[in-house]
Chain A
Amino acid sequence: MRMKRLKTVKSALWFLVGAAAAIAVFRFWRGLGPTTALTDLTPWGFWIGFDVMGGVALAAGGFCIAATVYVFHLERYRAILRPAVLTAFLGYAAVVVGLLFDLGLPWSIWHMIVYWNPRSPLFEVGWCVMLYLTVLLLEFLPVMLEMSKHPLLAGIHKALHKATVPLVILGIMLSTLHQSSLGSLFLIMPHRLDPLWYTPILPILFFISAIALGLMMVTTESLFSSWLYEEEYELDLLQGLGKVAAGVLWFYLAVRIGDLAIRGVLPHAFDGGFEPGLFWVEIAVSVLIPATLLTIPYTRRRMKTLATAAGFTVVGFVFHRIDVGGLAMIGTTGTRYVPSWTELAISFGIVAGFALVFFWIAERFHLMHGGPMLKGRERLPDIHAFRPRLIRGAVMFVAGAAMATALLPSSTLDGWPVVAQTVHRPGYGDMMILDGNRNDKGVRFDHKMHVDVAEGDDKCAFCHHMVKPGARATGCSECHRDEHLPVSIFDHRLHQDLLAKGPGCLTCHEDTSRPKDLENSKPCLDCHESMIPPGAAFKPRAAPNIGLAPGYMDAMHGLCLHCHQEQEGGHAGDAPTLARCSTCHSDTVKPFDPLHPDRRLEEAAAK
């Protein structure tokens, strides 16, 4: 029975991990767009609400129990200290893993360590996560090292054991900072968050709720572990936590409702509609039901009602974080974001993975109830068995991965193709607007100023690095004709027509027995030598044959940045900022009006 319960739970967890692993491959291969329901308007979705904000909140049990034992000296709670610290450590590790999925450039996550931006709330959040994760690791490491007989590991264990109290104090400080700073993060978006959630005291609400949630998470984890391993429930200890949590929950409710009343937003809670409904469901699930159950001594001392109260608090406050992270923004932004099943699968897979790590540690180290619980371990099969047998976890992992891969939509499998976007000319004259695909995110380009600062007789040729036969300077968009896709600049039809009266095809295809492709044809520059001026900044990559012209955006960035970076390196004064994005992308380009095509050019010139 015992093995069966444990095996079933572990099998389900391995299945979820397998599914998440398969989807993860496509998330990092194909990107966020084809894999998730996230958009530019809703860049923060379920992953931020559940994995990051929910994960941090769920990890609050670590600092709550550490403070109970080391600050308030309530020694009897030491029995649940280790699992609480481990849950906190794994919770934060899950936050980091979840964040890697959500970041557009996950490989740049280390940037915050080197490139400081102290004005950014995310900078504080990032540093808190990193430092607290380190502290939690150091706090928990002695548990894993205490059985080691290796002198080095034993030495590390001794040193860490001595540093326990400073580490605990550091952990409480960092965690307190971090729980509230996640709330601070949303202070910068009053225009997005519904007033029932947006409040200047959001950091305080996050902190108070984290205490209640932390206590109830420790309760949930302890009850679940006892059920899974069929150990005795620690009801005496847990009902004590429940009593404290009830007080914190009622206090939280008073502060929240009081804040709404003081800000004059309380009537909005009775308006009806999506947000008020969401608000009351959240209050009922996170506070009213669990606080009532925990306040009544009879229900608090019963395992089932205590578990119900703990479950409601955990779900309710994760729900609160998801509300703040996205659901409470639906009304103000007008978005209809519904997380895709792939997002849910990744989130649940991460949780499942760390739950398996928890079990692995619980079964091998002195975590709970005074010793390792080896009964849950499954042995590797006998190598001499006639039939090759995979252990159950491996089978479930493979099944999860296979099922998820089979269910993935073709847009995720193939990715989103880059759509062809014909480039529009930037205009003529001294001032131009580089807005090739007319998305109004272009750049005002002062052509006259660039002509004035350029030097040399052949100064036009530096930028106009390829000139069509007979022309003085060819505009960028004549070759770089697509916004993103490389386009061939060779016009076969034009050559066919022009050469028809002369030697015809033989002009270029000198050996007709060979395939009529670029490799076997006469090099373009044999006839069009003057197309590449000597002072050109860029030469065609496939010279003497002229191949594909890169997309307009790549070409513009390539040419402008090349020169700006050179100038930056050689000059003082304003030059060091020359290669930054804001130098060119300094102000918004007005929308293109087809009825008055020249208006924005005229306005730009007049500035």
Chain B
Amino acid sequence: MQALLEFTSGPMFRLALVVAVLGMAAQFVQNALVVARSSATWQHGARDVLRAIFSWVLPARRARRFGLAGEILTWIVAAGVVIVPLFYLGHARLWGRSLHLDWPVVPAAVSDLLTKLTMVALALLLLVRLANSQYRAVMLKFDWLPMILALLAFVSGYLVAHPGRSPLSPDTTALIHFFSADGLLLTVPFTRLARCVLLPDAFDKAIQHRQEVSA
């Protein structure tokens, strides 16, 4: 068990982290090249492109199209997935120790609340996508994986931080947490999650959104 814990939190975590970070960077560079070569970019001009993307990214604008509740849930998950792994006290200590840096920390109450909200939001989003045939149609098999892994990582992470509430032994809970987190990182550049750095995608949607609003 100890060897598995060390493997999943050491070499496997490093592998997953590099895949996630460099994979997303590669997606970004590749798509930036496509945008730079796209005729649409040159037709509209860089300022228009940036304005359109910004307008698309703002949740209040998008909410008109997808419904406020769905937008809020998505943004809770986005905030949870970024803030908790990076700035929760336990994680922050590991980052700081590995990188020899003073790593910022969010108060324990905030990270606890955000974890609970993220768990609920992820579960609701999963249910909505299961229930709604339109969503289900665009979700490929592989796209379910990061959502399930994220839910597993957050639940197990919460139980690692509060061992008294865990029905499993601390080592087993930690192992599930490490495995699911590593798995989530590995899937990031190859699933729909990568779309957050897909400029052409955002650009296309932004232009489309603008046309709809003006119409």
Contacts and interface: CB of A to CB of B under 8 A. Distances in A.
Interface in A551-596: none
A390 B22 contact: no
A387 B14 CA distance: 25
B27 A388 contact: yes
B30 A380 contact: yes
Contacts of B190: 388, 390
Nearest to B15: A406
B140 A387 contact: yes
A401 to B, nearest CB: 5
A414 B33 CA distance: 36
Contacts of A398: 18-19, 22-23, 26, 189
Given A383-B34, A398-B26, A407-B11, A390 B200 contact: no
B55 interface: no
Contacts of A399: 19
B26 A402 contact: no
Interface string A367-389: 00000000000001101101110
A22 interface: yes
Interface string A16-52: 0010001000000000000000000000000000000
B138 to A, nearest CB: 8
A391 B18 contact: no
Contact of B14 (A380, A383, A390, A405): A405
Given A388-B27, A388-B198, A383 B38 contact: yes
B93 interface: no
Contacts of A410: 10
Nearest to A384: B204
Contact of B30 (A386, A390, A403, A406): A390
Contacts, number: 73
A201 B29 CA distance: 52
A405 B23 CA distance: 14
Contacts of A394: 26, 29-30
B12 interface: yes
Interface in B9-54: 10-12, 14-19, 22-23, 26-27, 29-31, 33-34, 37-38
Which among B15, B191, B194 has the highest number of chain A CB atoms within 10 Å? B15
Interface in B28-84: 29-31, 33-34, 37-38
A39 B14 CA distance: 28
Interface in A209-268: none
A401 B22 contact: yes
Interface of B is mostly: helix
B201 interface: yes
Contacts of B129: none
Nearest to B19: A402
A397 B18 CA distance: 11
B205 to A, nearest CB: 11
Interface string A505-524: 00000000000000000000
Contacts of A408: 14
Nearest to A382: B34
Contacts of A397: 22, 26
B31 A383 contact: yes
Nearest to B23: A398
Contacts of A384: 200, 204
B195 interface: yes
A54 B112 CA distance: 58
B146 to A, nearest CB: 13
Nearest to B142: A387
A386 B27 CA distance: 14
A403 B38 CA distance: 34
Nearest to B25: A398
A22 B38 CA distance: 32
Contacts of B30: 380-381, 390-391, 394
A380 B11 contact: no
B15 A383 contact: no
A387 B189 CA distance: 11
B34 A390 contact: no
B2 to A, nearest CB: 16
B26 A403 contact: no
A406 B20 CA distance: 13
Interface in A302-360: none
Contact of B200 (A383, A387, A395, A413): A383
Interface in B140-180: 140
A565 to B, nearest CB: 32
Which among A380, A383, A387 has the highest number of chain B CB atoms within 10 Å? A383
Contacts of B22: 18, 397-398, 401-402
Given A383-B201, A406-B14, A407-B11, A388 B195 contact: yes
Contact of B34 (A380, A395, A406): A380
Contacts of B11: 406-407
B151 to A, nearest CB: 22
A18 B15 CA distance: 12
Nearest to B34: A383
Contacts of A391: 30
Nearest to A393: B26
A408 B30 CA distance: 28
A187 B112 CA distance: 68
A371 B50 CA distance: 40
B134 to A, nearest CB: 15
A414 B38 CA distance: 44
A386 B138 CA distance: 9
Given A380-B33, A383-B200, A390 B26 contact: yes
25 contacts: A22-B18, A380-B34, A383-B31, A383-B34, A383-B38, A383-B200, A383-B201, A383-B204, A386-B140, A387-B192, A388-B189, A388-B192, A390-B27, A390-B189, A394-B26, A397-B22, A397-B26, A398-B19, A401-B18, A402-B15, A402-B18, A403-B15, A405-B17, A406-B11, A407-B11
Interface of B: 10-12, 14-19, 22-23, 26-27, 29-31, 33-34, 37-38, 98, 138, 140, 189-192, 194-195, 198, 200-201, 204
Given A395-B26, A402-B15, A402-B19, 12 more contacts: A22-B18, A383-B198, A383-B201, A386-B140, A387-B140, A388-B27, A388-B190, A388-B195, A388-B201, A390-B190, A394-B29, A405-B14
Q: Which 9 A-B pairs have the closest CB atoms?
A: A406-B15, A383-B200, A402-B18, A394-B26, A406-B11, A388-B194, A402-B15, A398-B22, A402-B19
Interface of A: 18, 22, 380-381, 383-384, 386-388, 390-391, 394-395, 397-399, 401-403, 405-408, 410, 413-414
